[in-house]
């Protein structure tokens, strides 16, 4: 069923659509009001409230892996964090309070999914197809610009294991935790050893009647607690004494291995120490995971899973292990766009992504500075391709991106709508886009990311997620729009 508002058939004043009501979408909406004094925008959010990942992920022990004061919006500092790595309920309350403070509910349509967006060249606007997730009813609307803040960690990824639908017990993904389930006196299979599993496994095994078997594949580096400041003397030694810095770097690596050895049971030492460099994957701040492995009601299984059977799991060794509950801690679907996008000349963004160098014809997200793609005017991304800093705060990088996008939006949103001074379309130049992505590919080949095992941040061998330089470099690149890299019409 489809409906269309009569107002969508006439030329409208400048309007912005924000996809997603998580932290990125909240920051965009606030910036439109404060930086541009613009209020003709709508946030479309598929769920019933703000919060994004912090609304959806409610598993036991869920918490931030970045110090909370660094994970806060710079204009909305929060003095009341209860701990360094704030728990999920506090983070959700924080972002909802910011949305309430700035009156964003009045600008938000909840329970609404963006299905597709098509650029209309004759009108210099986007036609957007929406769906009410409760009724299935679809409608269309128009916007001058779209900001996609849907995020990377949106749709849970279930493991592609034969027989997954055969299991007769209870099963769910950690990102959609079933709080009605009683784990007492149950055997629980945890598939995956992600950061989320490291947070909820210690909570599950506090109940000594719950027996957890965790099926692991790739080990992780663990970091323990807040680190002390380096003294001025140590910094001087590292800067002036030959080989001191290289020796210190080696000591850091040795200390990371030593932490695993002194904290985890000896029987797991060989499997738990990664064979890849520390910096190529985001480390896990240990929430007591390694210590809990000493408990008699938790064990790790590195044999691999052959198939799921009615009563549990058959390992690659042929052993059938029986379980009552199965929890998938296998991350999220990445490497794809959350809605269909058709740009100038009707080309889909997926087809455009598949035509880029070194993708082998597989769609791999790419954009100029992670913000915009040639041929897709007035479409901007928060948390876009290659904008994740492996050693920084997502909130900080989102803020930098939001400020950059506000610079791009300013000429598009000038009033009145028919003013000859108002730009109708802004898109990155093809040569700027190609140069930027060539720089990314070159940087990736010269750092530790290329030695990482298979991971969520790569598609067909290409890293489409991580920013290969420092957080400061990210800010410097994005501090000011280089207008020569854009076509403004």
Helices (H), 142-225: 195-204
| pLDDT exceeds 90 at position 484 | yes
Asked whether residue 142 falls in the same domain as residue 172, the answer is no
Asked whether residue 364 falls in the same domain as residue 264, the answer is no
Give the per-residue pLDDT at 8: 43
Last residue of a domain, one of 309, 328, 347: 328
338-365 b/e (C-beta count within 10 Å ≥ 16 → b): bbebbbeeeebbeebbeebeebeeebbb
| pLDDT exceeds 80 at position 18 | yes
Asked whether residue 285 falls in the same domain as residue 387, the answer is no
Predicted confidence band of residue 459 (pLDDT cuts 50, 70, 90): low
Going along 76-135, which residue ranges are E strands? 108-109, 112-120, 125-132
pLDDT in tens, 104-126: 999 999 999 999 999 999 999 99
The arithmetic mean of pLDDT across residues 146-158, rounded, is: 89
Give the Cα separation of 367 and 464 in Å (integer): 10
Give how far Cα 105 sits from Cα of 30, 41, 141, Å. Answer: 12, 12, 19
3-state helix, strand, coil in the chain (%, to 5): 30, 20, 45
pLDDT in tens, 296-307: 999 999 999 999
CB 41 within 8 A of CB 31: no
Helix (H, G, I), strand (E, B) or coil at 147: strand
Last residue of a domain, one of 274, 295, 328: 328
CATH number for the domain that contains residue 296? 3.50.50.60
Asked whether residue 316 falls in the same domain as residue 339, the answer is no
Please state which of the ranges 90-99, 230-239, 324-333 shows the lowest mean pLDDT.
230-239
Asked whether residue 323 falls in the same domain as residue 345, the answer is no
Give how far Cα 347 sits from Cα of 34, 69, 126, 197, 487, Å. Answer: 35, 42, 14, 40, 18
Predicted confidence band of residue 455 (pLDDT cuts 50, 70, 90): low
Last residue of a domain, one of 275, 297, 328: 328
Asked whether residue 382 falls in the same domain as residue 294, the answer is no
CA torsion angle 322 325 326 327 (round to 10): -150
| pLDDT exceeds 60 at position 2 | no
Half-sphere exposure of 179 (CA within 13 A, CB side): 6
Q: Is the peptide bond before 416 cis (omega within 30 degrees of 0)?
A: yes
Asked whether residue 315 falls in the same domain as residue 378, the answer is no
The arithmetic mean of pLDDT across residues 348-369, rounded, is: 84
More confident site: 460 or 58: 58
Give the per-residue pLDDT at 379: 99
Helices (H), 175-218: 195-204
Give the Cα separation of 388 and 201 in Å (integer): 26
Q: Which residue has the tokens 């410097």?
A: 476
Give the Cα separation of 303 and 319 in Å (integer): 10
Give the per-residue pLDDT at 57: 97
Range of the domain at 345: 2-155+333-488
Asked whether residue 265 falls in the same domain as residue 282, the answer is yes
CB 304 within 8 A of CB 217: yes
More confident site: 87 or 465: 87
Give the Cα separation of 87 and 488 in Å (integer): 44
Predicted confidence band of residue 281 (pLDDT cuts 50, 70, 90): confident
Predicted confidence band of residue 353 (pLDDT cuts 50, 70, 90): confident
pTM: 0.91
| pLDDT exceeds 90 at position 483 | yes
Asked whether residue 256 falls in the same domain as residue 379, the answer is no
Asked whether residue 339 falls in the same domain as residue 465, the answer is yes
| pLDDT exceeds 50 at position 404 | yes
Give the per-residue pLDDT at 253: 82
Asked whether residue 207 falls in the same domain as residue 355, the answer is no
Asked whether residue 314 falls in the same domain as residue 343, the answer is no
CB 364 within 8 A of CB 487: no
More confident site: 83 or 392: 83
Neighbours of 221 (CB within 10 A): 22
| pLDDT exceeds 80 at position 4 | no
CB 25 within 8 A of CB 398: no
Give the Cα separation of 269 and 253 in Å (integer): 15
Report how many domains make up the chain: 2
């Amino acid at each position: 069923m489809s409906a269309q508002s009569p107002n969508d058939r006439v030329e409208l004043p400048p309007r912005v659509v924000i996809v997603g009501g998580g932290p990125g979408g909240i920051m965009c909406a606030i910036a439109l009001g404060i930086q541009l004094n613009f209020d003709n925008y709508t946030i479309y959010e598929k769920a019933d409230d703000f919060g994004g990942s912090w609304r959806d992920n409610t598993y036991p022990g869920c918490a931030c892996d970045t110090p909370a004061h660094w994970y806060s919006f710079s204009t909305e500092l929060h003095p009341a964090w209860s701990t360094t790595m704030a728990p999920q309920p506090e983070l959700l309350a924080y972002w909802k309070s910011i949305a309430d403070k700035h009156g964003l509910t009045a600008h938000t349509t909840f329970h609404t999914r963006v299905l597709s967006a098509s650029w209309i060249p004759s009108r210099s606007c986007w036609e957007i197809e929406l769906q009410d997730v409760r009724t299935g009813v679809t409608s269309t609307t128009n916007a001058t610009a779209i900001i996609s803040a849907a995020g990377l960690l949106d749709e849970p990824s279930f493991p592609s294991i034969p027989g997954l639908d055969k299991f007769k017990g209870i099963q769910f993904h950690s990102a959609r935790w079933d709080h009605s389930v009683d784990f007492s006196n149950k055997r629980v299979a945890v598939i995956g050893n992600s950061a989320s599993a490291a947070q909820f496994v210690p909570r599950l095994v506090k109940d000594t009647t719950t027996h957890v078997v965790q099926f692991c594949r790739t080990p992780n580096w663990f970091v323990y607690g807040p680190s002390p400041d380096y003294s001025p003397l140590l910094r001087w030694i590292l800067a002036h004494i030959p080989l001191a810095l290289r020796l210190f770097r080696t000591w850091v690596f040795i200390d990371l291995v030593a932490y695993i050895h002194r904290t985890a049971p000896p029987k797991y030492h060989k499997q738990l120490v990664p064979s890849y460099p520390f910096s190529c994957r985001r480390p896990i701040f240990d929430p007591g995971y390694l210590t809990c492995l000493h408990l008699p009601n938790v064990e790790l299984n590195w044999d691999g899973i052959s198939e799921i059977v009615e009563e549990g799991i058959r390992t690659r060794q042929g052993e059938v292990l029986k379980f009552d509950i199965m929890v998938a801690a296998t991350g999220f679907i990445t490497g794809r766009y959350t809605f269909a996008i058709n740009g100038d000349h009707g080309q889909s963004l997926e087809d455009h992504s598949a035509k880029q160098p070194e993708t082998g014809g597989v769609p791999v997200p790419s954009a100029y500075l992670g913000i915009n793609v040639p041929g897709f005017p007035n479409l901007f991304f928060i948390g876009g391709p290659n904008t994740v800093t492996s050693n920084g705060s997502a909130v900080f990088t989102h803020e930098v991106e939001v400020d950059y996008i506000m610079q791009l939006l300013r000429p598009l949103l000038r009033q009145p709508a028919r003013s000859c001074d108002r730009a109708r379309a802004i898109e990155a130049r093809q040569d700027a886009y190609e140069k930027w992505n060539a720089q990314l590919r070159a940087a990736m080949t010269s750092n530790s990311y290329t030695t990482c095992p298979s991971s969520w941040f790569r598609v067909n061998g290409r890293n489409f997620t991580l920013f290969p330089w420092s957080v400061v470099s990210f800010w410097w690149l994005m501090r000011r729009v280089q207008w020569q890299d854009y076509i403004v019409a």
